[in-house]
Structure 1
Amino acid sequence: MSKYEPLWNYLKENKKKSYKLTYEKIKNILGFEIDHSFLSYKKAKIRRKLI
């Protein structure tokens, strides 16, 4: 299981056309802080998982 799996599950369960999550909200979902590079790298993955 990926350490980011809780975030992917949150996005799948809360199906929306777009999301606006603060770093604090993401931290609460994951249980740890993420760095800025995560968002750039994972943007395409999020889109693929939601389709």
Structure 2
Amino acid sequence: MSKYESLWKVVESDGRKNFYLNYQEIEDILGFPIDHSFLTYKKEAKNYGYEVGKISMKEKTVNFKKL
């Protein structure tokens, strides 16, 4: 089980084709701060029907796109 599984389940259940979550929303879902390891784990989103698009460090947002 991945430490990001709770995030992927929320993303999967969202159902929108394209949406953003900000870092705070992601941290609230996960229960811990998002860190650099997210870049390694982002490929897991494909198992839940999504891919991680643009990650904006400036705006502190992550884009999710339905496959």
What is the TM-score normalised by the length of structure 1?
0.73
Higher strand share: 2
Give the percent of matched residue pairs that are identical in Structure 1 and Structure 2.
Answer: 44
What is the TM-score normalised by the length of structure 2?
0.59
Unpaired runs of 5+ residues, structure 1, are none
Higher helix share: 1
Output the aligned Cα RMSD.
Answer: 1.7
Unpaired runs of 5+ residues, structure 2, are 50-66
Equivalenced residue count is: 48
Instruction: Please identify runs of 4+ aligned residues in structure 1 that moved more than 3 A.
Output: none
